[in-house]
Chain A
Amino acid sequence: MVVINKIHITSVLVLLFAIILNILPLPSIIDSCRPPILLLFLIYCTLAHPDNINLTYAFITGLILDVLLIMPLGYNALCFTITVYLIMLYYPQIRLQSSWNKMFSILMLLIPFFISSTLVNSILKINYNILDVIISIILSVIIWPSLFNMLRFIRQKYT
């Protein structure tokens, strides 16, 4: 019971930190193609604790981001929930993969996320640049191994 509580507390704190990282102001050149940091943190948390971090976490985190970013409520919540659902389907396979294969899996997981977000963008008539989306995916895959190691270190130390 205590372990489960520890998992939840650590995950919430990590996700809060990720939310702040997600809205951190950056120079305008990188700004448009920044990787979805919060989603990457959420992917790690789901991969690490699939029994505790579930679709509710994804939905609520997405809603918080929508409120902070002044987006239509449910925009990020929907995209995050789709991605976390996919992880919950395939987490046994992803967890066993090597670091390189994991990078490929992240790429495969991020593509539905970006497809769903661009779909919602076009429905709600929000402007987007497809090149920035592609760069954002590539950047996410590149930073994944270091992010994974950092978060694993935190998890092993605090849970």
Chain B
Amino acid sequence: MYTDKQLKLGTEVRNNFSHIIQPIYTISESPLKLYRNTSLYIDTKKSIIKENNALKKKVLVQSGIIQQIPPLKAENKRLKKLLSSSSSIDTSKILIAELIKVNLSPFSNKVIINKGGSNNLFLGQSVVDSFGVLGVISEINKNFSVVTLITDPGHAILAVNARTNKRIVLSGTGDNRKLKAKYISLNEDIIEGDLLITSGLDNIFPGGYTIGEISVIKKKTNHDFLNVKVSPSSALSSNREVMLLW
């Protein structure tokens, strides 16, 4: 196990035997797919109409919000020019991938996606879903890749408080529902509900993507730093599709 941790033998094995592993994943995933497909047929017309109406409303609200983006972008660009700042949140390419739903250990904080080396993915590529940042690609095989979630205890991310623009280091706790904010001094301007976004300074995640919001702040008298918990905004345990950013 120690050798594997140092030499990444498991990655090598998975890479060489990906043609055998992929069908096993497909077979074990097939009952869930069958259930989803049959439930699509069994769904009543009434529930589909209801869902359709809800989606229409959602699209209407979101298209309203999107309409505000071009003037905001222009304003942001103008302000950035005034400040002589070169940071940007534009991404050139996006690829949609589907999660391969196999049962990894519930505490492993890893997921498998159905895109691999053949789709020109690279190690350390950022993965987001419709709500926020999900994680980074930690292993690439020919037809599938492993994504380490931001809640993995070995993962850290440099965030920015959207209200105060102060940088915060977030690390995983192993629990899908919370992240830990590190090294926040006792007199830091931080309140519950503050939105945290990616800073773009770590050269992994592009700036401007939502990570989560501060849920708990605890002050302990004998500690030098605040005990701050953050609830991730991405649907870490329930999403089906994710976006890969270049």
Contacts and interface: CB of A to CB of B under 8 A. Distances in A.
Interface stretch (B22-30, B69-77, B199-207): B22-30
Contacts of A25: 28-29, 32, 101-103
B213 interface: no
A13 interface: no
B193 interface: no
A40 to B, nearest CB: 16
Given A69-B108, A70-B146, A120-B1, A26 B103 contact: yes
Contacts of A115: none
A67 B17 contact: yes
B174 interface: yes
Nearest to B4: A73
Interface residues of A, number: 31
Contacts of B104: 23, 69-70
A81 to B, nearest CB: 13
A127 interface: yes
A34 interface: yes
Contact of A74 (B1, B27, B103): B1
Interface in A1-39: 19-26, 28, 31-32, 34
Contacts of B29: 25
B103 A66 contact: no
Interface in B106-133: 106-108, 110, 112
B28 A124 contact: no
A21 B13 CA distance: 22
A99 B14 CA distance: 40
A19 B5 contact: no
B127 to A, nearest CB: 16
A125 interface: yes
Describe A's contact surface by its main secondary structure. Answer: loop
Contacts of A120: 1
A134 interface: no
B101 A127 contact: no
A72 B5 contact: yes
B10 A70 contact: yes
B64 interface: no
Interface in B141-175: 146, 153, 174-175
Given A69-B105, A70-B108, A73-B4, 18 more contacts: A19-B24, A20-B27, A23-B24, A23-B102, A24-B28, A24-B31, A25-B102, A26-B103, A34-B103, A67-B10, A67-B14, A70-B10, A71-B108, A72-B10, A127-B107, A127-B153, A128-B107, A129-B107
Interface of A: 19-26, 28, 31-32, 34, 66-75, 78, 120, 124-129, 132
Smallest CB-CB A-B distances: 10 pairs: A127-B174, A73-B4, A127-B107, A32-B106, A25-B101, A72-B1, A74-B1, A23-B102, A23-B28, A20-B28
